[in-house]
Each structure stands twice: as structure tokens, then as C-alpha cells.
Structure 1
Amino acid sequence: MLATAADRHGIPVEALPSDCIGLPSPGAGVFVMPEPAAVADRPTPFPGEWVPAGGSSMHYVARHGGLGISPEVPMWQTQAITLSAADGAEYRRQAVRILEGVLERVPPTPSVFRPAVEEQIAIMRLMTRIARENPQDCADQDLALLVLLRGAGMLLRHLDVLLTEMPRHTAVLTERTALEEVFTKWIGTAERALRPVPFTLAQTVGYQMDVILGAACLVQA
């Protein structure tokens, strides 16, 4: 059903997204979320790494007799890239150093964006370790170029909040200017490598509607 819906709307299926590495797969582009381990059975997290919450809405639906499906619908189609797991990990390590450095050099004033930046840093640390442990599966992943942009974009928003409260703060102004230059460079790198072409709204919405109706038919049957 999932493959048919994607094919009908001209949306290519990604063989192994970076956030699905290690998950069981019944078919191309489809991955099964395992039941989360009990809290007492979870391994000790690595320092500074992001820790998944465990259960999700899909698990909740399954426990109540439903079929939980979470379709990932891309906004654009990208070119395949050649990028070793080691090179992708080095991009993330550099990004972590840059983002952490900015946070250390500006006032610790909170905003709604600062926790998101800190979470992205923790996610990049986790991704770096996964790449070291699974170099073959983590090669040629476009997220290695995109996750940097998430963190930098969130940090720019955080700095903008600080500037509304302290518009003449020299350190914040300096850090924002420098970070925007880095952000622009990272965007250029990703755009040249991935050459994104947006999908039409008819493709993305049509695919989601087909999945919804197809899942309803499966459950009813």
C-alpha cells in the first residue's frame, strides 16, 4: 500500500533514512518501530547525547488495536550524494563546536529556541556515534548536510530574541553576524550537493490521502 501510493504520485522511496538505521524493515522504505524498552532496561545514555523518549503515538495506536503509520513526506526531491560516514560525522563535530561556542559567548538568557538548539547539538552527537558504529549504513546520507542547518537556524532565532531584549549588545551582534555567514556557507554546500527540486502540493497531499485511505481499508479488512 505504501509503495503503491508513493509510486502513484511520483515520490521516490528512500532505501535507508539516517533516522531508521537499525530498525527492522519489511520492504523498501518501510520500517517498523520496535516496542520501547522498559525504563529500567534502557542502557545508560552517553554523556551529551540525545535520548529518545521511547514510546510514540504509533505504539499507543497499536496497543489499542489500531495500525499506527507515520508517513514521512518529503518537500523536495534531491540528488544522491557520495559522502562517507566519517566525513558526515566530521561535519557534525564541527557544527557542534560552532554552535556550542556561540552559546558560551552570549548571555545565558533563555528563549523558546535555546532548548531546541541544545537538543540539536545532542542529536548530532548521537548521530556521530551511530556513524562510527555503522559506517556502511551511515554513508551517503543527506541529513549529514541538513542537520547542521537545523541547529544553526534555531540558534539564529535564539540570537534574534536576545537582540529584541538587548539590541546593542556587542557580543550578540558579533556572534549573529558570524553565524549567519556560516549558515549561508552551509546552505550553499547542501544546495550544490543535493540540488533540491520541490514536489508539487498535489504530489505530497495526494500521497498522504492515499496512505490514510489505504490504512483505513487495511484496518477495516
Structure 2
Amino acid sequence: MTLIRDMCYPTPHELALAARTLAEERPRLVHLRRVGASRAGEPLWLLSVGGHERPGGVLVVAGAHANEPVGGATALALARRVIRGPAPRADRGWHFLLCADPDGAALHRTPRPYSLLDYHHHFFRPPGPEQPEWAPSLLPPDRLPPESRALTALIDRLRPLLQVSLHGTDLGGSWVQLTRDIPGLAEPFGKSAAELRIPVETGASDAAGWPSPGPGIFVMPEPGTPAAGAFHPEDTRLSTWYRAHRYAGTTAIVEAPMWASDLVDDPAPHPDPRGALRVLARRLVEEAARVAAPRDGIAAAEPASAALLRAVDWTLALIPRIAVEWTGPGAPAEATAAYIGSIDAFGRRLSLRAAAMLLRVLRAQGNPAAAGVDRLVTGWCEEFAARFGARWVPVATQVEHQSRIALAAYEGLTAAGR
């Protein structure tokens, strides 16, 4: 297998141009259509290969988190594979939402980050109520952003057998979250990760307490059951991930790291999980206070800076709740080193992201506090990379891994007769 080593993350505009070219080359098989618009009026593009929108196909969602840009590149790569391969079954087309949040993508500008610091100098991740997949778990239906309404309408129209949501963590390993188990997925997932030298995140903090049918594979709680386990400010079961269940579908969320770390793949028992979590919680609260101090009193009328500040405030508001969770009676008495490593990374990225977005606002305003926040961001990026032995995963490698898992998930469901 040969991979293009210097591939970059495409912008929403570049994705649309590439998709239009595919549609023009194969007009009888490939279709590109606008399925909605963002809050800023940017188009939401759906690329379809075969199927003619008959129920039971595959819906691939890219760009749901602005700071996780690999999904668009993977969507294009998957579309090309489907086009080149055997003709899709007439009743099961593949449909690709090329970027679920183009407004967010415009604020997170990192076509090919050269370091964690470079990545965070251009960082943006909107607050939960402004994220297309998460908003339905936080807002009533009449207040949903247009991106969420477009996505839910798309799921209702396509009624997919499989929805694949493409995500990418900044530093760590790969894992898959499923709304229903897909038997046999663990084997091709593990094989792909090993071949591509991507660590498997066996103790993903996003999925703590969830059933794991294989390393790096996690099954979410069923709708109607207690949401015990992983900490989320949102209820995953109210997200668009579960929308496919209305039509007997399954959703797979595929995570691939930008920078890899073997610390999240260590199955050894941690000697003192509760003690470690207390230390991590204390550090997180202290770091949040160092961001909150220069944030106080800052206002922004300009739309981009206002969006950044909303995200800063959302992130800072989560931290006290997370610290309580880590130090409360539900903290695990037994855990692997991988799980504690994942929690450590999660905490570091929260305070770092808040500081990075605040820094962008301060710099835009010429605020002298920018110098101090810049030192925080620089130091925390260096510590993060050093602590986890960060090594860059080429974009083409991330794309190849996600593509393999999406295809394996589809094959697993069709083999099971779904």
C-alpha cells in the first residue's frame, strides 16, 4: 500500500469542487446536491453514489466537529473507492455529507498543522449547542441550528442501514463508538491500526463504563437505559447518532488521531487510579483558573471573536463538573494505565483549547494579556507532546484507517443480514 505522505485537510470549498468533478465525470452514478445551509448561509453538500436515496444505504457524516478536519478527506476517499469498486446495490447507495459545520470549519484553519502549537494557534471548536450532532441533546427541537435540522432531515429521508460519523482526536489513539454492536468489527479495526502503526485507545475517556466487545470498540447505552459510565455534558442517546435507530439503523463513530501516543494503548493495571484522578482534577481546576483570569471582562462584537468566546465559556463551565466526576464516589478503584492516560489527555486538551481560543480573541483585539496566554498555550502544548510522546500520523494514513473501518462496518452489517 502506498500513501501520499504530504496530503492536507481539504476546506469545505475544496471538498465541494472535488465532489462536483466526480459528479460531472460519472453523472449516471454520482450526484451532488445542496441539502441545507449553515447559520451563515454556507451550503451543506451531499455527494451520493448510487442508491437514488432508497432506504437502507450508508450515510457518512464529515466535519461535525470543526477541529477534527480529517472526515472530509475520508469522505472523498470513500466515495472514490465506491465509484471504482463493484456497482453499489441499487437499493443501498452511499451518501456523503461533506461538511456538517462549514461555519466552524472556516474558524478552524489548519490545512496541515506542523505541531500541536500550530494546530492550537488556529483552534476552534464550537460549544455543544452549536455542534450539529450534539445540539439535539441540549436544545428543544424549535431551537436547533439549521445544520442539525438538515442532518436529522437527511437521516429521516435516507433511513440508512449504517451512519458513519468521522471524527479525529488531536493526540492519542483510534477507537470506534457504536450505537449497536457490529459483530466482527474488532478484527479488521485492530488489523488496520496495527498495519498503519496507529495505537488503539483501549480506555477511551469518551466511552468509560461502556461494553467493549473488542479492544478500541465501545457500544453506547441503549435508549431508555441509564446513561451510567462515561462523563458527557450531553446525553449521547439524544444526539443525531441515535436517529438512525428509528429505521433499524446503526451508527459508528470512527476516531483517528492526528498525533499518536502509545500511552493510550497500555493495558497494564494502574497502581492508584483514584489518586491519579484526584491529581488530574486538581491540575485541571488550576489550569482553568489561569484561563478564566484573563478571560474576565473581555467582550467581542465581531462575529468570529464572539463565537470563540462562547466556546471558551462553554469549555470553562464544563471543568468544575468534570473535576467533581473524577473525584466523586463513582471514580474507579481499578483501571488500566490506558484509561488514566486517556483521562490525562482529555483534561489537558480542555484547558489548552480554552486558552488557545481566548488567545485568538486577545490577539485580534491587541490586548496586552495575549502575551501571558501565549506563554500558557506554548508551554501546555510542549508539555502535552512531551508527556505523550506525540508522533504525527500522516493525513493519508488517518484517511486510510477511517476508510477501512467504514467499509468493514458496512460489510459487518450486511453479512449479519441487516
TM-score higher than 0.5:
yes
Distance in 1 between the 2:213 and 2:232 partners?
27
Give the superposition deviation at 1:194: 1.5
- State yes or no: 1:72 paired with 2:258: no
Partner of 2:107: none
The 1:50–1:57 alpha-carbon spacing in structure 2 relative to 1, beyond 3 Å, is closer
What TM-score, normalized by structure 1, do the two folds share? 0.79
More strand by share: 2
Is residue 99 from structure 1 mapped to residue 294 from structure 2 by the alignment? no
Residue of structure 2 in register with 1:217 after alignment = 411
Aligned partners of 1:25 and 1:31 also within 8 Å = yes
CA drift of 1:75 comes to 1.0
Match of 1:52 among 234, 246, 262: 234
The answer on 1:193 being equivalent to 2:387 is yes
CA–CA distance in structure 1, aligned partners of residues 340 and 410 of structure 2? 36
The alpha-carbon deviation at position 209 of structure 1 amounts to 0.9
Q: Which moved more, 1:150-159 or 1:126-135?
A: 126-135
The correspondence of residues 113-132 of structure 1 with structure 2, limited to 5 A, is: 113-132=308-327
- Is residue 50–residue 125 contact of structure 1 (8 Å, CA) maintained in 2? no
| Residue 50 to residue 67, structure 1, CA distance change in 2 (3 Å) | closer
CA offsets 1:6-42 (integer angstroms, 9 cap, x no match):
233222211112222222222211111214559xx99
Report 1:2-151 matches (<5 A).
2-36=189-223, 51-54=233-236, 55-80=238-263, 84-107=276-299, 111-133=306-328, 134=331, 136-137=334-335, 139-140=340-341, 141-151=344-354
Counterpart amino acid of residue 358 in structure 2: L
- Distance, in Å, in 2 between the alignment partners of 1:219 and 1:211 is 12
Deviation at 1:197, TM superposition (A): 0.5
Map of 1:46 onto structure 2: none
TM-score by length of 2: 0.44
Return closer, same or farther for 1:10/1:107 CA change in 2, 3 Å cut-off. closer
Which whole-Å CA distance do the structure 2 matches of 1:121 and 1:37 have between them? 30
Identity of aligned residues (%): 23
| Higher RCO, Cα 8 Å, sep 6+ | 1
Secondary structure of 1:68's aligned partner: strand
Distance in 1 separating the partners of 2:258 and 2:277: 24
Within 1, Cα distance between the matches of 2:201 and 2:278?
21
Q: Quick one: which amino acid aligns to residue 104 of structure 1? A: D
* Aligned CA distance change for structure 1 residues 75 and 42 (closer, same or farther; 3 Å): closer
Instruction: Deviation per CA, 1:143-169: give whole Å up to 9, x if none.
Output: 2322221111111123234x1xxx4xx
The SS at the match of 1:174 is: coil
Rate the CA distance shift 1:27–1:117 in 2: closer, same or farther, 3 A: same
Tell me if the contact between 1:66 and 1:219 (Cα under 8 Å) persists in the aligned partners.
no
Gaps spanning 5+ residues in structure 2: where? Answer: 1-184, 265-269
Q: Say if 1:61 and 1:132 are closer, same or farther in 2 by CA, change over 3 A.
A: same
Aligned to 2:362: 159
Structure with the higher fraction of residues in helix conformation: 1
1:74-107 alpha-carbon deviations (Å, 9 max, x no partner): 1111242899212211221012212222222434
Letter aligned with residue 317 of structure 2: A
CA distances 1:43-75 after superposition (whole Å, capped 9, x unpaired):
9xxxxx973154223211233222210011111
Aligned to 1:178, which of 372, 378, 388?
Answer: 372
Q: Is the 8 A contact 2:291 2:351 kept in 1?
A: no
In structure 1, what residue type is equivalent to 2:247?
A: H
- Are the counterparts in 2 of residues 57 and 68 from structure 1 also a CA contact under 8 Å? no
- Give yes or no for contact 1:79–1:193 (8 Å, CA) kept in 2: no
